[in-house]
Structure formats: C-alpha cells, structure tokens
Amino acid sequence: MARTKPRILRLYVIEEQEIYREIYKSALSFDVLKAPFELLGVSKNGDSAAITRVILDLKPDVLVFGARKLREGLVDEMEHIRVAHPKIGIVLLLVSCSVDDIQALRSIALKGEGGMALFLKQSLDDIQQLSGLVVAASQGQVVLDPALATFLFMEKTTYPFLKELTARESEILSLMARGYTNATIAECLCIDVKTVEHHINSMYGKLKADAEFDSKHPRVSAARLYLEATGQLVTPEAMGTASTPFEAPPVAAGPRVRSIA
C-alpha cells in the first residue's frame, strides 16, 4: 500500500523585529525542521488590507504574528482574521504582555474555529518548540504560555499589584522570575543595566503594598509573587483547592485549550 504523503502546512510570518524575521527565514524550512512546512513569506507589520491580500492570494493555514507588545492595531487585525477567516490558525509571539492585554487576548482566543497559540518570545527555547505551536494552531488547538494561562480565563485577577506595574516592569519581573541577572535582563531587552535597576527599584516600591512581599529579600520575594500570580508556583493553600493553576473553565464548542511549558 502506498504511503500517504504528509499534508504540507502553509504559513506566513508577520514580524516587527528584524532579527526574528531573519531567524524565521532560515529556520522555518523543511531542511531544518524535517517537517512538512512551506514558508510562504516573511514581512514586517502589515495593515489589514495587506494581510487580507496575503490570505486571499497565498491561502496560508497559519499566520505567525511577532511583536514587542500587543498594540491596538494588532488586536484589530487578529480579530478581523478570526471573524472573516475563522479556520486560519494564529500564532502570536510577544516580548511583553501587560495585565490590561489579557482580556483582549481572551476575546480573540475564543473566536473562530482555527487554533491559536499565545506565547512570550523569551519562553521559546528552540525552533522545534515554535514548530509545535504552529502545528497545534493548524489543528484547532489553543496553546497558552504558562505565564499567561492563569490570567487568560480569569474574569478578575486576585493579584492587584500586577496592575500597578508598567509593561516594562512586568517584562523585567518575568525575566527575574526565570533567574536572569540584571546584566542578562539588560542584554535581552537591549537596555542599560542602570535602567534595569531603576525599573526594579520602582517595582519594589509598588510591591511593598502586598502583605506577602518580604523587603529583606526583595528579589526572591518579587519572583515568588510573580510565579504565584501567573500560576507557575502552587502555594500550600492552593493545594487544597479543586482546581489546578492552569485549569480553565469549559469553552463551549470551541478549540481545545492546553498550556505547555
């Protein structure tokens, strides 16, 4: 019996950061991934009209969006795609994501039949992980970065201190929680170490209002609070509850939802 050829997965990338555009061009290919991918093209940010032309002319199965943060125009573009082309999968990769972005992401994720992957760029360790997100989105799954999973399906956060942080402070806190030093954070974000220190001191000032914050060990305490708030650290109190940190409420007639490390 003849073997069935694997279906070619067609994807198009819209990425605002040049370094990532070059990575996608060289890495998202059959020769590198050993997977049936066809990279239709890589471009900088496009408006709705340009994206619509790509969809109609090239007919991608998955669109990969890459950005530093969730700007308003990007939200509108993805919402339009989910409504007008509901079967297309979307992979969204961000450098930072504020608490205020969560409800917009939640709304987008629950629209359309196609899958969606929402991930922070710093959470991706290798290109195979990215290819897994693309495949999952093409199969109608919703895949969430664990750092976002807890908030995505919560109507109200129980960690108000996160709302007080700026987008940059939230970004730095997420890297601190991963064990990054100030120098490494500065290198990752292309900013000066003194700027990192300024943001951290500002962040500590805001975290002091939380009863759980330990001013004697501020870095460890801040990282612990962030991990608890994002569901990446289970507290003894939470062990007694029925739900798990990444458990989401049922989604009616929608994509399957999972979170991966």
* DSSP-assigned letters across all residues of 167-183: HHHHHHHHHHHTT--HH
Q: Mean pLDDT, to the nearest integer, of 109-120?
A: 82
What percentage of the chain reaches a pLDDT higher than 70?
Answer: 75
Selected residue with higher pLDDT from 158 and 236: 158
Model confidence, pTM: 0.62
Domains of the chain (ranges; CATH) run 9-153+247-259 (3.40.50.2300), 161-240 (1.10.10.10)
Q: Mean pLDDT, to the nearest integer, of 193-215?
A: 85
Rounded to whole angstroms, the Cα distance separating 186 from 200 reads 12
**Closest among 106, 134, 145 to 13, alpha carbons compared:** 134
**∠ Cα 177 182 187 (to 5°):** 105
Neighbours of 124 (CB within 10 A): 15
Rounded to whole angstroms, the Cα distance separating 76 from 83 reads 11
**∠ Cα 170 174 179 (to 5°):** 145
Selected residue with higher pLDDT from 187 and 233: 187
Selected residue with higher pLDDT from 95 and 243: 95
Dihedral sign for Cα 14, 18, 20, 22, please: positive
Name the residue type at position 138.
S
**Closest among 59, 87, 98, 63 to 77, alpha carbons compared:** 63
Residue 46: pLDDT over 90: no
> Tens of pLDDT along 239-256?
333 333 333 333 333 344
118 confidence band (pLDDT: 50, 70, 90): confident
Selected residue with higher pLDDT from 96 and 156: 96
Do the Cβ atoms of 123 and 94 come closer than 8 Å?
A: no
Rounded to whole angstroms, the Cα distance separating 159 from 224 reads 12
pLDDT of residue 257: 45
Do the Cβ atoms of 87 and 137 come closer than 8 Å?
A: no
Residue 235 CB-half CA count within 13 A = 12
